[in-house]
A and B are shown apart, each in its own frame.
Chain A
Amino acid sequence: MTQYDVAIIGSGPGGYVSAIRCAQLGFKTAVIEKYNTLGGTCLNVGCIPSKALLDSTEHYHNAKTTFQKHGIQLENLKVDFTQMIKRKNEVVKQTCDGVSFLMKKNKIDVLTGVGSFVNAKTISIQNDKGEKQEIEAKHIIIATGSKPASLPNIVIDKERIISSTEALALKEIPKEMIVIGGGVIGCEMASVYARIGTKVRIVEYLPNLIPTMDKDLSKELERVMRKLGVEMHLGFKVKEVMRVDNEVMVSAEDAEGKMHDWSADYCLMAVGRKPFTENLGLEKAGLKTDEKGRITVNENLQTSVENIYAIGDVVRGAMLAHKAEEEGVFVAEFLAGQKPHINYNLIPGVVYTWPEVAAVGNTEEELIKNKTPFKKGSFPFRASGRARASMDLDGFVKILAHAETDEILGVHMIGPRMADLIMEAVVAMEYRASAEDISRMSHPHPTFSEAFREACLAATENRALHI
C-alpha cells in the first residue's frame, strides 16, 4: 500500500491548491479525483465555463446594442451558439490541463477514481473500470465540494429541468427560460441567456435579487436586469415544477397568496448548492455531517477525527472557490506547524453580471443590526469620465465607514470590472485603512478605480470632488 503524508479527496480549487502547497512544504501528496479532468466544479462546470459564456454573450450583446453608437457597423450579426459552447469547452480543457501540469510539476500523485474511507487513515479508490487500490495517509483532507441543490419534490431531470451544470452545455438557445433562484448563479445564467435572445424569468423566494448582499446592490442589479429584458418575480414561492413533453410548467405563489403559472422550454434550478459527501464512507472514518450535510470542523478546519481535515464547500462558510483555496493553503501550512489565519470577514463576493457586482465586509443591514455607528459615501458611474467613455454608466461604489474612526467596514460596488476593483477594498481593509486613507492615495485617471476614491471622499466627510 502506498503511503502518503497527505491525501486530498477532490481536485477542485480547494483540493488542488492545497495539494500544491502541501508539496511545496515537502509533504508526499496525493490527490484523488473521480472525474477524468482535474479542477472540480470551478474549472469544469462552474466559475470558468460560466465566465467564458458570460464574456461571449456580453460581446454579442455589446455588438448588438452599443456598437452602432461607437460607430461600428455590423451586418448579419448573429449568435453561433455551437461555437460559443465549443470555445467554452476549449477554455475549460486548457485550464484543466494547466492543473494537471501543476500536479506533475509539484510531483503530486493524481489518483483517478472515487475515493472512500476504509478507516481514518486508509482510502480506497475505485476507478470507472471497477479497479480498486488502497492508499494510506498520515493526514487526509476532504475537499469534495458541493452539488447543485433542488427544492423538495422537484427533480432535476437534466434535460428540461436543469442545473447550472447543464445550463453551461445546452445544445440550443432556449426560447424561454425560467430561472428559479435569484442568487449569484441565477443572475449570471439569466444574463447569459437573456443577452442572446432567450426570454428569461427569475423567480426568487426572497424580496430581492442576490439577497445576501447589500440591499442597494440588489436594487441596482434588479434595475439592470430589467433593462436587459429579464422579468423578475420577487417574493414568489415556487409550488410546482412539472415537465410536459418539451415544456416545463412552473407554478408559484406571490406574497398575497395568488398563484401564477408560467411555461418555458427550460427551467433552471439555481437555488444553491449542497455539500457533497456521497460514497465517501465518512462513517468508516468516524465522521458525521451536520443537518445541512456539512462536515463539522474546528477553527483549524480539523474534523472530529484528529488527522482528517475538510475544506471548501463541504464545510461551513461561503461556497466560493477563493475561500476554498484559502482553506486549502491554511490546512497545508497548519500541518507543517505554521500558524496561518483566514479573515473570513474579508473574503470578497463577486457576481459576474454586467455590470459586475462585488462586495466585501459588512453590509449596511448588518451594521444597523449590530448597532455599529457608520457613515456612508457612494459615487455613481454616470459621473465617471472613464465609464462614460466605455458606455458603462450603470452602477456605483458605496463605502461604509465607522462613524468615529473612519475605518472602512464594508465596500459594495456594482459597475464595470468591479470583480477586479474589489481587491482595492480587500487590501485596504486587511490593513484597516480609513476612508480618508484611500482618499489620500493617488488613483490613476481615467479609471474606474477613481469611483472608489470618490466614494471614500464622500464617506470621509462628504467631499467627493466630481459630483
Chain B
Amino acid sequence: MIIEIKVPVVGETINEVTLAKWLKKDGDLVHRDEILCEFESEKATFELSAEQAGKLSVVATDKAVLKIGEVVARIDTSILPEEKKEESKRVDTKTEIPKTETTQPIPVLSVEKTETIVEKNYATGTPSPAAAKMIRESGVEINSGSGKSGRITKADILAAIKNPKHKPETQLETQNPKLETGFTKLGTRLERREQMSSLRKAVSKHLVTAKNQTAMLTTFNEVDMKPIMDIRNQFKDAFKEKHGVNLGFMSFFAKAVCNALQEFPAVNASLDGDEIIYHDYCDISIAVSTPKGLVVPVIRNAESLSMVEIEMKVAELAKKGRDNKLSLEEMTGGTFTISNGGVFGSLMSTPIINIPQVAILGMHKIQERPIALNGQVVIRPMMYLALSYDHRMIDGKESVTFLVRIKEQLENPSHLLFGQDPMKYLLDL
C-alpha cells in the first residue's frame, strides 16, 4: 500500500510552513516513527515522522512553502526496511561524521553505544514501579527509557535526577549521536562548523529586524529589593504548601508591569505599519531560555490574573519551554516582554524589543550594594532595571515614568494593589 504523508496541523494561526530540510532521501527505506524532514514555521521548527515503515518517495522539495495538508511524501509500505539495513545505515552515518566534522576529536565518537533498534509499542515509556514513584517525587519528565521496548527503569530516573540533561540511552532514539561541545583536549587548534538551527535562524532574523527598523534606546533604574524579599521570605513556605509552586519574583514584576502598562497604554501598544494598535489587555511575554534557544511564551490577560495564577502560569510555561513542548499558540502574540537576565548573573543589559511590541523590561541580578538611604550608607539587595523602548512610539517622559512606577511599586509592595499608594487611591488623590 502507498500512503501519503501530509503537512500536519500545527496551530490555528499557521497556514503554511517551509520545508527546512530533508533528513531522508528519495528511495530510502524508513522505519515507522523515523524523522523524515524538518519544517520551519514562523515561530518554531518541528519534525515530521513516518507513519508507517516502507520506501520513501519524496514529493516536496527542500525550501518549498507548503500549505497545511499538502502532500510531502509517499511511503510504499510493501517494501519494508530490514533491521540489518538500518544497522548498517547507522554505521554509515557514524563513519560519515568524521568526514563532515573533521575537527571532531576522535574520543568523543567512541561514546556511541551498540544498539539494536526496537519498535515502539504500547509499553514504551512504562516506568517500573520504583521508577514510577521516583518520577512522581522528582517531577522528572521522561518519555521512554532504556528498558525493553523503551520501558523506564530505576536507573534511567537516577541518571535523570543526577544530570537533568541526561537522556536515557533509549533504544528508540533515531538521531545521530549528539556531538559534544567544549574542549576535550588542551592546546587544541581544532574548530567546527555547524548549520544554524532553524529556530536560531528565525531568532536572528527577528532580532536584526528589531535593531534595524526601530528607534530603540534603553533607560535604566534600580530597585531596592528588600521589601519584596522580606515578603517572599515570610510567605514562600506557606505559598508553596498551599499552591504547590514557588513564590518567585516574576509575579511581583508582572503585577507591577501590568499596573504601569494600564497607566501608560503607549508602552503596551504595538506598531503595524503606520498604525498604532492599543491593547486593553496585558499579554506579557516572558523570555525563557531552553535547550534549543530563547523562546518567548505569553501569559495572557496577566492584568486579570492573581499573583498565584501568574506564578502557576510561569512555572507551567517555563517547564514546557525546557521540555520543548510549547505550542505555537503559546508563543504567539504578547503586548510587552519581561526578560530576566538576572538568572544567569547579568548585572545590566540593554534588551532588544520583541517586535511588533514597543518595549521590553530587563530584570537583572540582585546584588547587595551600599546605598545611601536617609543620609546613611546601608547595604541593600539592589537590582538594576532596564527598559528598552521604541522612541518612535514612546516619549522619554513616558518611558522613564513607566520605569519609575515599576520601581515605586516594588519598593512599596502595598502599591501593587492598585498601582499606586493604596491610601491615595482610597482618598482619590
| A positions within 8 Å CB-CB of B | 338-341, 343, 402, 405, 407, 430-434, 437
| Inter-chain contact A405/B122, CB cutoff 8 Å | yes
B129 touches A430 (CB 8 A): yes
Contact of B122 among A338, A340, A407, A431 (CB under 8 A): A407
| B151-A340 in contact (CB<8A) | no
**Across the interface, do A405 and B133 meet the contact criterion of CB distance under 8 Å?**
no
Instruction: Say yes or no: is B123 at the interface (Cβ < 8 Å to chain A).
Output: yes
B133/A338 in contact, CB under 8 A: yes
B148 at the interface (CB under 8 A from A): yes
Using known A-B contacts A430-B128, A431-B128, A431-B151, determine if residue A340 contacts B133 with beta carbons closer than 8 Å. Answer: yes
Q: How far is the CB of B249 from chain A (nearest CB, A)?
A: 26
- Is A339 within 8 A of B148, CB to CB? no
Residues of chain B lying within 8 A (CB to CB) of residue A437 = 148
Closest 10 A/B residue pairs (Cβ): A339-B136, A405-B122, A432-B123, A339-B137, A432-B126, A430-B129, A340-B133, A407-B122, A338-B137, A341-B132
Contacting pair B123 A407 (CB below 8 A): yes
Q: How far is the CB of A218 from chain B (nearest CB, A)?
A: 30
Say whether B121 faces chain A, with CB atoms less than 8 Å apart: yes
Report the separation of the CA atoms of residues A293 and B318 in the bound assembly, to the nearest whole angstrom: 47
Chain A positions within 8 Å of B128 at CB level: 430-431
Complex interface: chain A residues within 8 A of B121 (CB): 405, 434
Which residue of chain A has the shortest Cβ distance to B124 in the bound complex? A432
Question: In the assembled complex, which residues on chain B have CB atoms less than 8 Å from the CB atom of A343?
Answer: 129
A342 to B122 Cα, complex, angstroms: 21
Q: Which of B126, B136, B148 contacts A341 (CB 8 A)?
A: B136
Give the size of the chain B interface in residues (CB under 8 angstroms).
13
Which of A407, A432, A437 neighbours the largest number of chain B CB atoms within 10 Å of its CB? Answer: A432
A sample of 12 cross-chain residue pairs with beta-carbon separation below 8 angstroms, ordered by A number, consists of A338-B137, A339-B133, A340-B133, A341-B132, A341-B136, A405-B122, A407-B122, A430-B129, A431-B148, A432-B122, A432-B151, A434-B123
* A343–B133 alpha-carbon span in the complex (Å): 12
A393 to B147, CA, bound (A): 38
CB distance from A92 to the nearest CB of B (A): 32
The SS class assigned to the A binding surface is loop
Chain A residue numbers with a CB within 8 Å of B133 are 338-341
Chain A proximity mask over B115-145: 1 for CB below 8 Å, otherwise 0: 0000001110010110011001100000000
How many angstroms from the CA of A235 to the CA of B299 in the assembled complex?
64
- Which residue in B126, B136, B137 is a CB contact (below 8 Å) of A431? B126
In the assembled complex, how far is the CB of residue A168 from the closest CB belonging to chain B, in whole angstroms? 34
In the complex, A269 Cα to B151 Cα: how many Å?
47
In the bound assembly, the distance between CA atoms of A338 and B123 in angstroms comes to 25
Query: Within 8 Å CB of A433, what residues of B?
Result: 123
Q: Which of A338, A339, A341, A407 has the most CB of B within 10 A?
A: A339
Give CA–CA (A311, B121) in the complex, Å.
36
Distance from A124 Cβ to chain B, minimum over Cβ atoms (Å): 31
Closest A residue, CB atoms, query B137: A339
- Chain B residues near A340: list those with CB within 8 A: 133
Residues of chain A with a CB closer than 8 A to B148's CB: 431, 437
Contacts of B136 on A, CB cut-off 8 Å?
Answer: 339, 341
CB distance from A229 to the nearest CB of B (A): 43
Q: In angstroms, how far is the closest chain A Cβ from the Cβ of B163?
A: 22
Q: Which residue of A lies closest to B121 (CB)?
A: A405
Nearest Cβ in chain A — how far from B155, in angstroms? Answer: 14
CB B14 to nearest CB in A, in angstroms, measures 34
**What CA separation (Å) do A430 and B137 show in the bound complex?**
19
Besides A343-B129, A407-B122, A432-B151, 15 other CB < 8 A contacts? A338-B133, A339-B136, A339-B137, A341-B129, A341-B132, A341-B133, A405-B121, A405-B123, A431-B128, A431-B147, A431-B148, A431-B151, A432-B122, A433-B123, A437-B148
Chain A nearest Cβ from B253, distance in angstroms? 31
The CA of A407 and the CA of B136, in the complex, are separated in Å by: 24
Closest to B153 in A: A431
Q: Which chain B residue shows the least CB distance to A402?
A: B122
Least CB separation from B138: chain A residue: A339
A24: shortest Cβ distance to chain B, in Å?
Answer: 16
What is the CA–CA distance of A430 and B147 in the complex, to the nearest angstrom?
A: 13
Min distance, Cβ A157 to any Cβ of chain B, angstroms: 46
When C-beta atoms are compared, the residue in chain A nearest to B132 turns out to be A341
Residue of A nearest to B135 (CB): A339
Q: How far is the CA of A341 from the CA of B148 in the complex (A)?
A: 22
B348 → A minimal CB distance (Å)? 41
Q: How near does chain B come to A400, taking the closest CB pair, in angstroms?
A: 15
C-alpha gap A431/B123 in the complex (Å): 8
A339 vs B140: C-alpha distance when bound (angstroms): 13
| Chain B residues with CB below 8 A from A434, complex form | 121, 123
Within the complex, the shortest CB–CB distance from B227 to chain A, in Å, comes to 32
